[in-house]
Chains A and B, each alone.
Chain A
Amino acid sequence: MSALLAIRDLAKRHGAHTVFEGVNFSLAPGERRAVLGASGAGKSTLLRLIAGLDAPNAGTIERAPGLRIGMVFQDLALWPNLTALENVTLALPDLPRAERRATAQAALDSCHVGELTNRRPGTLSIGQQQRVALARAIVAQPSLLLLDEPFSSLDLALKAELLAEVRAQSEARSTAVILVTHDPCEARALCPAALVLEDARIIASGPWDTLATHRGSRLLAAWRSAENGPG
């Protein structure tokens, strides 16, 4: 398998409710892809299945052998009783102690929060917390980075700054990225291609110029209308 990730006929149900079904897509190494959808469309559920945190009801997820995953959660999930450095070192369980510390410090440095090593998450600004969460996700040099709407509550300037940061990290390390979001503008800033999850299935997929001409998606229609402006 040359793909990093291959998803076939994936379905997830909660009781009688079908979250989604018939989901198919694959991801190549270094590729960045957005998963778009309205709130409750099942985007985060899809990401949890890919991360191995949940099991699907049907279908398969084939992961490349030795695939290492890093993830930034919607609420960041930083452990509040640990310092920034400890949050990152804990994600490096396989390395010797001294090497672990140096690697974690390097990850924090690369995310521009190297000077906040001994601060706990509660004492950091939201932007600094996002960077520490990103450092934790990339410290083990994952080949796949999962982002579960981590930037949805940020102001535009900070959001743009962090998206540029993720893109730089992804390009520097050839890390594939899946960004889950309901905001096409945010998705477009990071990912050259996207898939749209609507009505419990993928209704559109491909690069942005293809999506721009797609008819039949409420989300894409709203995006086009917003892009064109009033009148």
Chain B
Amino acid sequence: MDGLDAAFWRALARSVLVGASVAGVSLAVGWPIGVRAALTRFPGRRALLTALVLPLLLPSFLVAIGLSMLAHEISGFFGTVWAFACLGVPLVACASLAAAHTVTRSQADAARLAGGERHLFHLTLRATFPLAALAATLAAALTLADAGPGQILGWPGAAGELLVSFAARYDVTLATRQAAALAFVAALLAWPLAWKLAPHIADALLARDTERAERHHSPRTALLLGTVVIGIVAPPLTGLLRPLVSHDWPLARAWSEVTRTAADTALYAVLAAPLAVAVAFTAAWLLGRTPRGRRVLVAAALALLAVPPALPALWLIPWSSAATLGAALALRGLPVAILFALRAVGSMPPSWADAARVHRVPRWQFLLRVAVPWLSRWAWPAAALAALLATAEVGTVLLLHPPGRGSLPLAIFTIMANAPEALVAMLCLLYIALAAACAIVLQRLAA
């Protein structure tokens, strides 16, 4: 690791400390709440779960901006962990909720008979631990690769050093070395666990014919989940509203910024999403039908999620264009698309292809008439999520966008230091409104 100074290693140590803390907080809060939400029904369940998912669709720096505007005391290590935990807790909760759905109705009934709801909750906690732990580790790995909150809240990490190297010093060689070092550390922390837990995730992704456990009515869960959602969403949102209380709302100026960047933001998403989905579904079709292939793909997806997005982007700088930017952003959405594609391929019993073979159905007819229509039910939400993740990415766009053609998150990120607070807050709120609209559409699609 030649050429990396002590400041970088100190920043890396700060990043690791933040990552470990975020993993701990996310696991402690997200894991039990995800399991409770899976096992119970309560008033407002759908709305609360949609609100819980919303932060996952936002760039992390938006949350950090909101927290920094809420109170100047929210800064440093504590503030950075808080900002990242706003994303880590929903990630772990969603993973736990999905994992808890693999508990079948008969398993749940047996647990209820043996020791009631409490016993079922404890058994489900144990059953979902691998996925919850993996999600917490991923949350930690994502903090390593993300410069935003640390820079904004005064606890700059290794990703922040990297950002300074290419955006302020224009030293691409140093930035590449730093990105490689960061990727190495992320890999060291995340990949062994990803490989170990990949079979559990692959199993969870397989279709199950059994009925799901009956949900027990529990208004208390609504209270708990509501508290968590408010704890995650309310502080940054209040922070973003605060500058608007004492000023006129700069809606016209913010809207003009949105419309200026909308076409390019949409273009990058439209380039990235189909590419991610095409690669993911092809890989899942070719590899995802054997246990070993599924394990390899899941581990690859998780590992890819832990790689700093700037690393591939740095290599693509000589060919920077809208198309290469789309390709680099596709890498951001690829892991999620792979998980969707594996779920889709896993939901196709092997006997469908066997029946086509025995009855001499031409391969292309089976693909066009049966496989593609079936898989496309998962392809649309996968594309929507990949597009949202690509849109939220800032570092890659900063490196590869054609001159004067940045995305909306990049516009917010670049003007936040110099523009009036009210304008920054307005832009952030508009972005959140757009993401919320996407979350609702996504939820409808999933339903």
B361, chain A: closest CB distance, angstroms: 5
Q: How large is the interface on B (under 10, 10 to 19, 20 to 34, 35 or more residues)?
A: 10 to 19
A107, chain B: closest CB distance, angstroms: 12
Would B349 and A75 count as touching, CB distance under 8 A? yes
Residue of B349, B351, B359, B361 with highest tally of chain A CB at under 10 A = B359
A212 close to chain B: CB less than 8 A: no
Would B360 and A71 count as touching, CB distance under 8 A? no
Would B360 and A93 count as touching, CB distance under 8 A? yes
A117, chain B: closest CB distance, angstroms: 17
Would B365 and A71 count as touching, CB distance under 8 A? no
B116 close to chain A: CB less than 8 A: no
B370, chain A: closest CB distance, angstroms: 5
Q: Which of A52, A77, A137 touches B351 (beta carbons < 8 Å)?
A: A77
* Known A81-B373, A82-B370: A53·B365 in contact at CB below 8 Å: no
Q: Residue of B at shortest CB range from A88?
A: B359
* Known A73-B351, A73-B354, A90-B365: A79·B370 in contact at CB below 8 Å: yes
* Known A53-B354, A73-B354, A77-B349: A82·B369 in contact at CB below 8 Å: yes
The tally of residues in A whose CB lies under 8 Å from a CB in B reads: 24
* Known A77-B349, A77-B352, A93-B365: A69·B358 in contact at CB below 8 Å: yes
B196 close to chain A: CB less than 8 A: no
* Known A75-B349, A90-B365, A93-B365: A81·B358 in contact at CB below 8 Å: no
A51 close to chain B: CB less than 8 A: yes
* Known A90-B361, A91-B361, A140-B360: A73·B369 in contact at CB below 8 Å: no
Within 8 A of B (CB), among A63-89: 69-71, 73-75, 77, 79-82, 86
**B351 CB contacts on chain A under 8 angstroms:** 73-75, 77
B4 close to chain A: CB less than 8 A: no
> Between A and B, how many residue pairs show CB distances below 8 Å?
58
**B357 CB contacts on chain A under 8 angstroms:** 52-53
Rounded to whole angstroms, the CA-CA distance of A130 and B214 in the bound complex is 29
A12 close to chain B: CB less than 8 A: no
Chain B 335-367, CB within 8 Å of chain A: the 1/0 string? 000000000000001011011111111100110
Q: Which of B355, B362, B365 touches A77 (beta carbons < 8 Å)?
A: B355
A43 close to chain B: CB less than 8 A: no
**B249 CB contacts on chain A under 8 angstroms:** none
26 of the cross-chain contacts (CB-CB < 8 Å) are A48-B354, A52-B357, A52-B358, A53-B358, A69-B358, A70-B359, A71-B354, A71-B359, A75-B349, A75-B351, A77-B349, A77-B352, A77-B354, A77-B355, A79-B352, A80-B374, A81-B370, A81-B374, A82-B369, A86-B369, A90-B356, A90-B361, A90-B365, A90-B369, A93-B361, A93-B362
